[in-house]
Amino acid sequence: AQSVTQPDIHITVSEGASLELRCNYSYGATPYLFWYVQSPGQGLQLLLKYFSGDTLVQGIKGFEAEFKRSQSSFNLRKPSVHWSDAAEYFCAVGPDSGTYKYIFGTGTRLKVLA
Amino acid sequence: DVKVTQSSRYLVKRTGEKVFLECVQDMDHENMFWYRQDPGLGLRLIYFSYDVKMKEKGDIPEGYSVSREKKERFSLILESASTNQTSMYLCASSPRGTVQETQYFGPGTRLLVL
């Protein structure tokens, strides 16, 4: 069955430090991969997505992610974190073949220290 | 910009009450979704709709029903609210077309059932 794993529930980094959030997936076919961000009290906003082509994907707010098929991973990175990046981040894969069902990870909550 | 609005940000209901959560999108999207978000569980799909009056069950439909009488509006109904339905509810929409389409999320409704 398809699944998404975000192994880190919480991550704390200092402002200005680099960031990497991990995402591993299990998917039978070529996956469509997404990263969303949820600021406190808000809905989810798309950061970036990967469907095909270049495995390094650029997104909004200075984020990027790299698709590594051999490792079944789609990790999110940012070279220098800002205090406003404190939020919860969700990785998603899908949709399931023949449906519109997307599978979301359990999320990683990012805390940024001043 | 795509806008997805949800009728309430916060809602408090009593056990056994009938609860309506409304979602409206203004971009003429064919697909609409209701998710439930709980800490440590990520987003779980309750129902989705791919057209007016069309619906399909998601992963956790028990205790919920939906209605889509107009393209822009997708309602989630809790026929008899229970305390285990206390949660954050997120609505999303996406255009039909390629399956890679991004989902656009509303701000969420935080429901407390007493």
Residue in A42, A99, A106 nearest the CB of B42: A106
Residue in A46, A90, A95 nearest the CB of B43: A90
CA B55 to CA B110: how far, in whole Å? Answer: 23
Q: Examine the pLDDT at B2 and tell me if it is beyond 70.
A: no
CA A96 to CA A74: how far, in whole Å? Answer: 18
Query: What pLDDT, on the 0 to 100 scale, is given for residue A42?
Result: 83
Mean pLDDT over B72-101 rounds to 89
Query: What pLDDT, on the 0 to 100 scale, is given for residue A2?
Result: 79
Residue in A4, A9, A100 nearest the CB of B48: A100
Give strand pairing partners of B65: B77
Mean pLDDT over B83-96 rounds to 93
CA B10 to CA B111: how far, in whole Å? Answer: 6
CA angle B39, A106, A79 (to 5 degrees): 115
Which residue's entry shows tokens 């990785």? Answer: A91
**Cβ contacts (< 8 Å) between B35 and chain A: which residues?**
104
* Minimum Cα–Cα distance from A10: chain B residue: B40
Give strand pairing partners of B42: B38
Is B74 near chain A, with CB under 8 Å?
no
Residue in B9, B42, B106 nearest the CB of A105: B42
Contact (Cβ atoms closer than 8 angstroms) between residue B104 and residue B94:
yes
Which residue's entry shows tokens 């591993």? Answer: A24
Give residue-wise pLDDT tens across range B22-52: 999 998 999 999 999 998 888 999 999 988 9
- Quote the DSSP letter at residue B24: E
B positions 44-73 inside 8 Å of A (CB): 44-45, 48, 50, 56, 58-59
Query: What pLDDT, on the 0 to 100 scale, is given for residue B106?
Result: 94
CA B87 to CA B30: how far, in whole Å? Answer: 26
Query: What pLDDT, on the 0 to 100 scale, is given for residue B99?
Result: 55
Query: What pLDDT, on the 0 to 100 scale, is given for residue B110?
Result: 95
Q: What is the mean pLDDT of each run of 10 residues along chain A (114 residues)?
A: 90 97 87 92 90 91 94 96 96 77 92 94
CA B11 to CA A101: how far, in whole Å? Answer: 27
**Cβ contacts (< 8 Å) between B102 and chain A: which residues?**
34, 46, 49
Q: Residue B79: which of B15, B12, B9, B5 has the closest Cα? A: B15
Chain A residues with CB under 8 Å of a chain B CB are: 4, 9, 32, 34, 36, 41-46, 49, 51, 90, 92, 95, 99-102, 104-107
Query: What pLDDT, on the 0 to 100 scale, is given for residue A94?
Result: 79
Mean pLDDT over B58-77 rounds to 96
Query: What pLDDT, on the 0 to 100 scale, is given for residue A60?
Result: 94
Which residue, among B51, B91, B105, would best test binding to A if mutated, counting the most A CBs under 10 Å from its CB?
B105
